[in-house]
């Protein structure tokens, strides 16, 4: 009897929400056989144990907005849909700590925390996207510059391994246990090492005031000088973003009313001193803030001192750039019918020479086949060894990650 035939009933014995997959369940063009929606970590473990017994390949899914990021999986038999595990399990406001299930939409967690004047210091993202998806892709926005990313804000994780073993790491206080920080390993691993079912986050108070200082600037050298003037100062910006070649540098200041007012004045002085002719000050974030550019999506990283050069080179390659000039983490976008492979080659060489990297996050399949999605990855053999420990039979999102991991 074929695996497909026995898989359904076997999976159904581990979870009461299992169905045959339909077209919409395909993962980056690869059709799975079944979809299961576990309601708990234990059910997730039961499903992964069953999948192991039947040698099924498994891909975790949150809201499914980024299942095309990375490379297509070699095979998918089971999609593990975490959307039933969408609860905020605990919010210890006194400890500035929250615990939530991986299928919890990021915006729902933020709503719960805001009621107590707190937040997970992660920028708003696409509505409905989940904590698990954000952790697995380590997506980040403008506020990463001051607060870090999921990797820094997650202090505890519950993960189910490919063999169904449940592993807990960290806890409810920062660095409360000795040993490897598994949470950091899971962050940005695209679901290739384990399925995250719960996460513990350290929180920040919601700021009572904020101001955005925006400068229109024509040349990349001045843009870089404006960024450097603010980043090297003590005005403690939450974010320093650039929108290029639209020609805007924007600085976000958050905190108390009085603090923000005095830092706004200091920042205006810094910006005019670095070449800004006018500085617009507003409370509202600009419409482009935190949104990725359109088209083929690139993630570009480089040293701060190379940001100006990167903006110039990107403009030469017809690549629109948005992102954290203050952290050296930027997103590039270009039309799919442009010279994508040539632009990737030139910009990747620039980023590598500037101590960074370039990843092709999203592109149509025909374009993706013309480029190396991940680029050169130092310590790839060590990563393969880590994968070999967590998922020796390569059944979690096989082939989606660097080096075909």
Residue ranges of E strands in 141-208: 154-160, 166-170, 195-202, 204-205
Stretch that binds ligand FAD, among 219-227, 253-261, 286-294, 376-384 (CB under 6 A): 286-294
Show contacts with ligand FAD in window 139-168 (CB under 6 A).
139-141
Given 33, 37, 51, 66, the residue binding ligand FAD (CB under 6 A): 66
Given 10, 48, 59, 351, the residue binding ligand FAD (CB under 6 A): 59
CA distances 27 to 77, 122, 218, 333, Å, are 10, 26, 42, 23
Exposure class string for 114-136: b at 16+ Cβ within 10 A, else e: eebebbbbbbebbeebbbbbbbb
- We find the least distance from the C-beta atom of residue 67 to ligand FAD, in angstroms, to be 5
Given 129, 169, 187, 211, the residue binding ligand FAD (CB under 6 A): 129
- Check residue 61 for interaction with ligand FAD (CB under 6 A): yes
Q: In this structure, what token pair is assigned to residue 28?
A: 């980056």
- We find the least distance from the C-beta atom of residue 276 to ligand FAD, in angstroms, to be 26
How far apart are alpha carbons 202 and 321 in whole angstroms? Answer: 30
User: Under a CB-based contact definition with an 8 Å cutoff, are residues 203 and 119 in contact?
Assistant: yes
- Check residue 387 for interaction with ligand FAD (CB under 6 A): no
Nearer to ligand FAD, 110 or 269 (CB): 110
How far apart are alpha carbons 85 and 39 in whole angstroms? Answer: 5
Helix, strand, or coil here: 18?
strand
How far apart are alpha carbons 68 and 397 in whole angstroms? Answer: 12
- Check residue 130 for interaction with ligand FAD (CB under 6 A): yes
Nearer to ligand FAD, 301 or 397 (CB): 397
Q: In this structure, what token pair is assigned to residue 124?
A: 């708003």
User: Among all chains, which residue has been given the structure tokens 């898989």?
Assistant: 7
Question: Which position's Cβ is nearest ligand FAD?
Answer: 133
- Check residue 67 for interaction with ligand FAD (CB under 6 A): yes
Stretch that binds ligand FAD, among 11-19, 132-140, 307-315, 344-352 (CB under 6 A): 132-140
- We find the least distance from the C-beta atom of residue 136 to ligand FAD, in angstroms, to be 3
Q: In this structure, what token pair is assigned to residue 222?
A: 């001045």
Q: What are phi and psi of 228, to 5 degrees?
A: -60, -40
Please confirm whether the linkage preceding 298 is cis (ω < 30° from 0): no
The secondary structure of residue 29, as a DSSP letter, is: T
- We find the least distance from the C-beta atom of residue 329 to ligand FAD, in angstroms, to be 11
Given 36, 122, 162, 359, the residue binding ligand FAD (CB under 6 A): 122
- Check residue 133 for interaction with ligand FAD (CB under 6 A): yes
Stretch that binds ligand FAD, among 109-117, 128-136, 206-214, 368-376 (CB under 6 A): 128-136
Interface residues with ligand FAD (CB under 6 A) are 59-67, 82, 102, 122-123, 125-126, 129-130, 132-134, 136-137, 139-141, 190-191, 195-196, 290-292, 397
């Amino acid at each position: 009897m074929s695996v497909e035939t026995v898989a359904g009933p076997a999976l159904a014995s581990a979870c009461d929400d299992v169905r045959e997959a339909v077209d919409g369940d395909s993962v980056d063009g690869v059709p799975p056989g079944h979809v299961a929606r576990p309601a708990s970590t234990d059910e997730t473990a039961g499903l992964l144990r069953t999948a192991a017994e039947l040698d099924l390949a498994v891909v975790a899914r949150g809201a499914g907005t980024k299942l095309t990021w990375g490379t297509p999986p070699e095979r998918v038999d089971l999609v593990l849909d975490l959307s039933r595990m969408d609860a905020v399990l605990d919010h210890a406001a006194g400890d500035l700590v929250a615990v939530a299930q991986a299928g919890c939409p990021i915006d729902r967690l933020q709503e719960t925390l805001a009621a107590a004047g707190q937040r997970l210091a992660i920028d708003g993202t696409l509505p409905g996207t989940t904590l698990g998806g954000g952790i697995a892709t380590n997506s980040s926005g403008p506020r990463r510059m001051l607060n870090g990313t999921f990797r820094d804000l997650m202090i505890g994780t519950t993960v189910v391994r490919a063999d169904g073993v449940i592993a807990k790491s960290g806890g409810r206080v920062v660095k409360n246990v000795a040993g490897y920080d598994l949470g950091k390993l899971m962050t940005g691993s695209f679901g290739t090492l384990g399925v995250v079912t719960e996460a513990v986050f350290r929180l920040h108070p919601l700021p009572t005031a904020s101001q955005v200082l925006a400068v229109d600037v024509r040349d990349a050298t001045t843009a870089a000088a404006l960024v450097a003037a603010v980043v090297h100062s003590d005005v403690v910006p939450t974010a320093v973003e650039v929108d290029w070649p639209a020609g805007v540098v924007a600085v976000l200041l958050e905190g108390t009313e009085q603090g923000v007012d005095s830092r706004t004045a200091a920042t205006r002085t810094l910006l005019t001193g670095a070449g800004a002719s006018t500085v617009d000050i507003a409370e509202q974030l600009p419409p482009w803030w935190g949104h990725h550019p359109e088209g083929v999506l690139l993630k570009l990283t480089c040293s701060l001192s190379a940001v100006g050069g990167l903006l110039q080179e990107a403009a030469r390659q017809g690549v629109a750039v948005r992102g954290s000039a203050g952290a050296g983490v930027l997103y590039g976008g270009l039309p799919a019918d442009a010279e994508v492979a040539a632009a990737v080659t030139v910009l990747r060489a620039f980023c590598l020479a500037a101590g960074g990297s370039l990843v092709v996050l999203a592109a149509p399949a025909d374009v993706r086949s013309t480029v190396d999605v991940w680029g050169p990855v130092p310590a790839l053999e060590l990563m393969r060894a880590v994968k070999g420990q967590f998922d020796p039979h390569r059944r979690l999102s096989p082939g989606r990650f660097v080096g075909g991991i």
